[in-house]
Structure 1
C-alpha cells in the first residue's frame, strides 16, 4: 500500500470532451435558470444597441427639425432602454449568483461526504490545511466559473454578433473600417492571457506554501512546539519569505495587466479616429449623416471589448478547467475502505475477535505486521505490550477498519469484518487513546457526541462511573463548561476520564484502550484506572499498555515485536519464559525499585 501523493498546484488542464462533459454535469440541474440567463443576456444585448441608434435619430432628425416632441420621446426612450437594461442586469446577477452558489453548495456537500469516506492513510499523507483549502478556496473559486467564463462568453458573443450586425446594417463600408482594428487586439490579448496564466500558477503554489506554514505553526500543537523551541524568529522568517514571494508575483500579474490595458486602450482609440476620418469623407460625399458617424463611434466600444474578452477565452477556460481538475483529483480518489456490496449489519456483542495470519504494510516491501494470529474471547481483556513502533496501535486500528489488512482475516463472532457494514462495526467499538480529542465546545456537547438521545440520568451515570462527575459539578458552569481547543482547559487526566465517560455513554461491546494512562500522573492514573475497571466490565477489551502494572491481570498478554507476536500468555507465564516480556518487566520494575531506594535514602539523610 503506497503512500498517497497529492498535487497542490494548478497543473496542466485537461480539456478533453470527457472532462468538459463532467463539468457540464454540475450545471445540468440548473438548466432552466441557465436558459433564463441566456434570455436576459439576449434582451440586454438588444437594449444596449438602442441608445446609440436613438442618438443618431436625435442628431439627424429631432435637432435639425427643431422637433421638441420627438426630442423628448427619443431621450425618454434612450433613458428607458438604459433603465430596463440595468434592471435586467440585476436579474442576471441574481440568476448568476443563484446558479454559481448552488453549484458550490452541491460540490461542498459532495466533497465533505467524500472526505468522510476517505481512509485514515489519506489524512496522514496530505499537507496540513490542504483539505481545508480544497473545501473552501478551491470550491469557492468555482463560483466565478459560471459568471466569469460561461456567462461572460455568452454575453460577449451576443454583444459582438448584435453590434457587428447593426454596424453592417447601418453602413457596410464603415463597418469594414471598424473591423480593421480587431486583429490588433488578438495578439496582445492571447500573449497576455498566457503570461497571466503562468504567473497565476506560480502564485497558487506560493499561496499553498503560505497556507501550509500558517496551518503548521498557528495550530495548537504547532504553536506550542514553536514556543517551546523558541522558533518564532525562524517561522516568522519563513512566512515573510513566502509572503514576499507571493506579493511579488501578485505585483507582476497586476503590472502585466496594466501594460496590457495600455495597449488595448491605444488600439481602441485608433478605431474612432478611423471612423471620424473615413466617416467624414463619406459625409462630405453625402453618403452618410453626422448622426450615423456618432452612432458608429458609440457602438465601437460594444464591438472591441467583446473581441478582447473572447480572444482571452481559451485562457479563462484553462483556468476554470484546472480549478475543476484540482477538485476532481480528490473526487477520483476512491475510498479504499468501504462497505462490501453484500455487507450486512450485525452486532458485536458476545462475539470473539480473531486475527488469522494477518499482514499489513503502510509502504510496499516494508511490512508493519506479519502473521498476526490471536483470539480475544468475549468478556476478557487482551493486552498488547512491546517496544514503540512494534505494531501495537496498527493491530487495534485494523479492528474498526481504519486500515484494511493486506492479507489474512479478522473476524468478530466468526464473521469477517469486511462483510459487516462499517456503521455496524464501528458502532460496536469504543476507542480511548492516549491523545484524547475534545471539540472546542461544552463538556455536555463532547459527551453527547457518543449518543445524541442520551438522557440527563444516563449522562450523569456515565460520568459518575468515570469518576469525573464531581469534578464537573465543581466547575462554575458545570456541564456547560467550554473545554477549549482540543480540551486545553482541562488536565490530561480530566480529558481522559471525559473520554472514558463518552465511551461509557456509547456502551459498545468491544473496547480498545490505546496507552490510555501512559502520560498521566499518579493521582490521575488512579482515577482513570478506576474508571477503566468500570468501563471494561463484561466487555471484550484490547488494551495497549506502556505501564505493565495496568495489565498484569489481563486474561492474555500479547508481546509484539517487529510486527510479530513474539510471546503470549498470562503475566506469570510470561515471566517464566525469560523473553521480551521479562526484559520489559525487569526494566520497568527494576527502575522503580531503584527509585524507591533512592527516595528512602533521601528521607533518611540528614538535612
Structure 2
C-alpha cells in the first residue's frame, strides 16, 4: 500500500526532482493560475483601463516635441512653444499620477493573492496526515509557505501587468509610427525578430537556476530549523558540533549564493545582447530618415519624434521577449506550490460522516493491522476492547507498536485492515473534528507554545474560567508551583517550555488535557518525566478524575498501571499477553519478565 504524499508517491524525506522535469506551460496550468485573479476582477479591469490611458498619454510628448521643432521654433512662436511645453509637462504629471494609482492596485491585487494562497496552503497543510510531517523536511514546508508563495507577488506586477502594459504601448506606438511614415515604421520593425533569438534559451537557463536556487534556500531553512531550534541547539552544543554545522551551512549558503550570482549574470548577458540589437533601429532611422529629409519628404522634428517613439516600440518588445523568462520563473514557483496543493489528504471525513459522543461507549479493536510502509508492518491482528469507564494499559519494549495503537484512535493514522469502533460505529463514520474533540492525549514529548502558562492551558478551552483552570492545575499538582512564580499563571514558558523542567511541563500538559475534560483519555508515558512524589500524587488525582472515562495508558513504569482494569503486553506489533496485573504475574511470561527486571534488587559493584 503506497503512503507517499509527493507527486511520485515516494516515502521518507520528500525530494522533488525539479532538474529533470520541464515546466509545462499548459492551458490547464495557466487557467489554474488565472483562477487566483478572479476575486479581484474589478481591480484588474481598473488596472487595464489605467494602462490604456497611460499608453495613449505616453505618445503625446514625442508628438509635442515634433511640433516644437517643426513649428514653434522655426516660426518663433513663443505662445505655441509655451503651450506645447506645458502640455508635455501636464501629460507627464498625469501619467505619473496614474502610475501611482496603478502601483497601488498592483500591490492590492498581488498581496491579496499572496494572502489567499498562504491561507489556502496553511489550511491544506493542516489536513495532511501525521505521516506527511514525519517524512517531509521542515525547511521545505517553511520555504513553500514563505519564499515560494511570497514570490508570487511579482507575478501580477512583473508579468501580467507588464504584459498588458507593453501590449497596449506596443499597439498604440506601432499604429502611430505607421501613420507618421510607413516606410520608417517597417524599417524599425525589421530589427524586432533579432530580439526573439536568445530568449527561449535564456528562459530555460533562468528557470533551471531559479529551481536550483529555491532548493538551496530550502536546505538553508532546514539547517536553520534543525540547529537553531531549542532542541537542535542543545544537541549541537552538547556534542560540540558547532564547527561541523557551520561548515555545512556555509557550504549550502555558498552554493545558493553562487546560483544567485549565475542567475543574475545570465540576465545581464541576455540584456546586453538585446540592448545591442535595440541600438541598430535608431541608427537605421537616422540614416534613412536623413535621406528622406534631404529629399524633402520628412522634417527634422518628425525624425526626432520617430526615434523617440521607436524607443517606446523597442522597450515593450524587449520586456515582452523577457516575459518568457518571467513566465518560466513564475511557472516554476506555481509548480512548487501546486505540488503541495495536489497532495491529497489521506484521512478525510466521509460525505455522510456524523458527530460522535464517546461517553459511555467501548473502544473496540478487531483484527486491526497497520503499516507505515508497504513492506513493513507495524501492527498485525490487534484485537481488544477498552470498556467504557475502565483503564487499559499498554506495556512492552520500545518500538513494539504501543504508540501506534493509540494514534489510530484519533485517526492520526488510518488502519489498513480490520475495524476500530466506538460503541457500535466505525470511527470512520464520525467527523474528524468531533472524534478528536472526544479524546485527550498526553504525550511523552510535551509541547508548549512560547506563551504564558495560562495561554498554554487555555489552548484546551479558550472559554475556561479561572476556577476551572486552577482546579485542573490542582488536580495535576502544578498549581502550587505556578503561583510561586513571580508572574504566576502569566509566566512565559519560553520556546517549547524551555524555562520549565520536564516534570513541570508534563504536569501542565496533563492539566491542559484535564481542562479539556474529554470522555476518552490517552496517556503516552505521561508520567515518565515526573519524580516519585509527583507521580504518586498524580496517580491519586487521576483515580478520581478518570471515573466514568475510558482511559488508555502507555507505561514503562509498571507502578503506574498496576491498578489497571486490563493490561495488554505488546511485542513486535501484536498483543502477546492480556490480563490484570496479578493474572499476568501468575502467567510467568513477558509481563513477569518486565516486572522482575524493574523490581529485582540492584546490586552495585
Relative to the length of structure 2, the TM-score reads 0.95
Q: Does 1:149 align with 2:163?
A: no
Q: What is the distance in 2 between the residues matched to 1:272 and 1:527?
A: 90
TM-superposed deviation, 1:246? 1.2
TM-superposed deviation, 1:531? 4.3
TM-superposed deviation, 1:107? 1.4
Q: What is the distance in 2 between the residues matched to 1:205 and 1:112?
A: 20
Q: Does 1:390 align with 2:406?
A: no
TM-superposed deviation, 1:8? 4.7
TM-superposed deviation, 1:534? 4.4
Q: What is the distance in 2 between the residues matched to 1:101 and 1:9?
A: 29
Structure 1 partner of 2:11: none
Structure 2 partner of 1:355: 365
Structure 2 partner of 1:324: 334
SS at match of 2:144: helix
| 1:564 equivalent among 559, 574, 586 | 574
| 2:133 equivalent among 98, 117, 123 | 123
Which blocks of at least 5 consecutive residues in structure 1 are unaligned?
A: 602-607
- 1:465-476 alignment, distance < 5 Å: 465-476=475-486
Structure 2 partner of 1:163: 173
TM-superposed deviation, 1:297? 1.2
Q: What is the distance in 2 between the residues matched to 1:456 and 1:520?
A: 25
- 1:54-133 alignment, distance < 5 Å: 54-133=64-143
Structure 2 partner of 1:303: 313
> What per-residue deviation string (whole Å, max 9, x for no partner) do you get for residues 347-371 of structure 1?
1111111111111110003111111
> What per-residue deviation string (whole Å, max 9, x for no partner) do you get for residues 181-204 of structure 1?
222322233333332222222222
Q: What is the distance in 1 between the residues matched to 2:380 and 2:259?
A: 51
SS at match of 2:440: strand
Structure 1 partner of 2:146: 136
Which blocks of at least 5 consecutive residues in structure 2 are unaligned?
A: 7-13
Q: What is the distance in 2 between the residues matched to 1:43 and 1:303?
A: 17
Paired residues, number? 595
Contact 1:275–1:297 under 8 Å retained in 2 = yes
Contact 2:143–2:217 under 8 Å retained in 1 = no
Q: Pick which of 176-185 and 373-382 moved more.
A: 176-185
Q: Does 1:333 align with 2:343?
A: yes
Seen in structure 2, the aligned counterparts of structure 1 residues 33 and 333 have a Cα distance that, compared at 3 Å, is same
Q: What is the distance in 2 between the residues matched to 1:355 and 1:192?
A: 60
Contact 2:584–2:592 under 8 Å retained in 1 = yes
TM-superposed deviation, 1:450? 0.7
Q: Pick which of 472-481 and 531-540 moved more.
A: 531-540
Structure 2 partner of 1:294: 304
Q: Does 1:418 align with 2:428?
A: yes
Q: What is the distance in 2 between the residues matched to 1:516 and 1:569?
A: 22
Q: What is the distance in 1 between the residues matched to 2:54 and 2:200?
A: 27
- 1:198-597 alignment, distance < 5 Å: 198-590=208-600, 593-595=601-603
Contact 2:139–2:219 under 8 Å retained in 1 = no
Seen in structure 2, the aligned counterparts of structure 1 residues 531 and 9 have a Cα distance that, compared at 3 Å, is farther
- 1:593-604 alignment, distance < 5 Å: 593-595=601-603, 598=604
Structure 2 partner of 1:44: 54
SS at match of 1:52: helix
TM-superposed deviation, 1:528? 4.0
Contact 2:177–2:306 under 8 Å retained in 1 = yes
Contact 1:466–1:530 under 8 Å retained in 2 = no
Relative to the length of structure 1, the TM-score reads 0.95
Contact 1:467–1:530 under 8 Å retained in 2 = no
TM-superposed deviation, 1:250? 1.5
Q: What is the distance in 1 between the residues matched to 2:547 and 2:499?
A: 30
Contact 1:14–1:325 under 8 Å retained in 2 = no
TM-superposed deviation, 1:532? 3.4
Q: What is the distance in 2 between the residues matched to 1:16 and 1:257?
A: 25
TM-superposed deviation, 1:320? 1.6
> What per-residue deviation string (whole Å, max 9, x for no partner) do you get for residues 235-286 of structure 1?
1001111111111121222222222233233222222222111111111100
Q: CA RMSD in A?
A: 1.6
Q: What is the distance in 1 between the residues matched to 2:389 and 2:162?
A: 67
Q: Pick which of 388-397 and 5-14 moved more.
A: 5-14
Q: What is the distance in 1 between the residues matched to 2:333 and 2:540?
A: 54
TM-superposed deviation, 1:387? 0.7
Q: What is the distance in 1 between the residues matched to 2:207 and 2:384?
A: 58
Structure 2 partner of 1:604: none
Q: What is the distance in 2 between the residues matched to 1:348 and 1:51?
A: 77
